[in-house]
């Protein structure tokens, strides 16, 4: 089993950042050819997801839809004022698992791995394990 951490810097309050190439690089360095890649995000106002990465408009559409689905003007009680970010993080989840075969992530043709920022801009971490 190999493990490590990557840092993700976000520039907007809400955005999806493609981290696929960075994770592929870590897998290549690990020299593990077959197993599972487990990614974990230790932040309560961010998430991880796998979705289409071929058309960048998809990420913008997801953010636009999320802003419509989760009300930002509710009478939230959390004093920090970022309750919608916590709700979004709960909906997306904090981890993803991907099969690794022949040293490559087994993602679909259009799939990419995205770090989902809901309370940025910030510097974030994603922990990975391959084995």
- What does the pLDDT look like over 112-131, one tens digit per residue? 999 999 999 999 999 999 99
> Based on the structure, what is the number of domains in the chain?
1
pLDDT digits (tens, 9 = 90+) for 54-74: 999 999 999 999 999 999 889
Give the whole-number percent of the chain exceeding pLDDT 90.
95
3-class DSSP state of 82: coil
pLDDT at residue 72, rounded to an integer: 86
- CATH classification of the domain holding 70: 2.60.120.460
pTM over cut 0.75: yes
pLDDT at residue 73, rounded to an integer: 87
pLDDT above 90 for 46: yes
Where residue 98 falls among pLDDT bands split at 50, 70, 90? very high
Domain that holds residue 39: 2-130
Alpha-carbon separation of residue 100 from 11, 28, 106 (angstroms): 30, 11, 6
3-class DSSP state of 61: helix
Distance, CA of 92 to CA of 96 (rounded, Å): 10
Whether the link from the prior residue into 103 is cis, omega within 30° of 0, is no
SS3 content of the chain, % helix, strand, coil (to 5): 25, 35, 35
């Amino acid at each position: 089993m190999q493990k490590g951490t990557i840092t993700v810097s976000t520039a907007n309050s809400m955005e999806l950042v493609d981290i696929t190439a960075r994770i592929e690089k870590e897998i290549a360095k690990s020299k593990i050819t077959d197993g599972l890649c487990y990614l974990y995000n230790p932040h309560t106002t961010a998430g991880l997801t796998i979705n289409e990465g071929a058309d960048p408009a998809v990420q913008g559409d997801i953010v636009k839809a999320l802003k419509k689905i989760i009300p930002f003007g509710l009478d939230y009680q959390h004093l920090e004022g970022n309750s919608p970010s916590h709700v979004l993080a709960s909906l997306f989840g904090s981890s993803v698992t991907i099969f690794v075969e022949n040293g490559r992530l087994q993602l679909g043709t259009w799939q990419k791995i995205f770090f989902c920022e809901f309370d940025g801009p910030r510097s974030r971490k994603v922990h990975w394990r391959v084995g």
